[in-house]
């Protein structure tokens, strides 16, 4: 498996761990690759007690992409304590863009990642 594929797996792993920490018991992920473009779809429910944790989700996942940090730290995704914001910031630095929707007790994420040469 190439590094780019491993990075995608780490992104899904980190989001899964994060939403388990928020009380999720329904999680769905999908990966669609087309050449250099990858779209990651992620859906999870959450315990309403943790709704405050979702307020910064868009900010964390849409932080500026940082190829240097991605190259050095991508293997650390999924290794922190569940629910840590720093892990979401790392995911945000690994993707190009995220669209987030919260509705009816579920979070819907659509994330875009372009593979570099």
CATH number of the domain where residue 7 is located: 3.30.565
How many domains would you assign to the chain?
Answer: 1
For residue range 58-74, list pLDDT tens digits in order.
999 998 876 766 665 55
Could you list the residue range(s) of the whole structural domain that residue 78 is in?
3-114
pTM: 0.85
Q: In a 3-state reduction of DSSP, which class is residue 98?
A: strand
For residue range 75-111, list pLDDT tens digits in order.
555 455 555 566 788 888 889 999 999 999 999 999 9
**pLDDT of 23 higher than 80:** yes
Q: Show the tokens assigned to 26.
A: 């329904």
**pLDDT of 116 higher than 80:** no
Q: In a 3-state reduction of DSSP, which class is residue 33?
A: strand
H-assigned helices in 41-103: 57-61, 67-73, 85-94
């Amino acid at each position: 498996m190439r590094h780019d594929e491993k990075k995608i797996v780490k992104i899904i792993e980190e989001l899964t761990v994060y939403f388990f920490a928020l009380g999720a018991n329904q999680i769905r992920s999908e990966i669609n690759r087309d050449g250099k473009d990858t779209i990651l779809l992620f859906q999870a429910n959450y315990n309403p007690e943790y709704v405050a944790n979702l307020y910064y989700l868009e900010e964390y996942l849409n932080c500026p992409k940082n190829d240097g940090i991605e190259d050095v730290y991508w293997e650390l995704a999924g290794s922190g304590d569940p629910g840590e914001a720093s892990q979401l910031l790392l995911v945000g630095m690994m993707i190009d863009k995220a669209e987030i929707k919260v509705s009816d007790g579920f979070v819907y994420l659509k994330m875009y990642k372009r593979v570099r040469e």
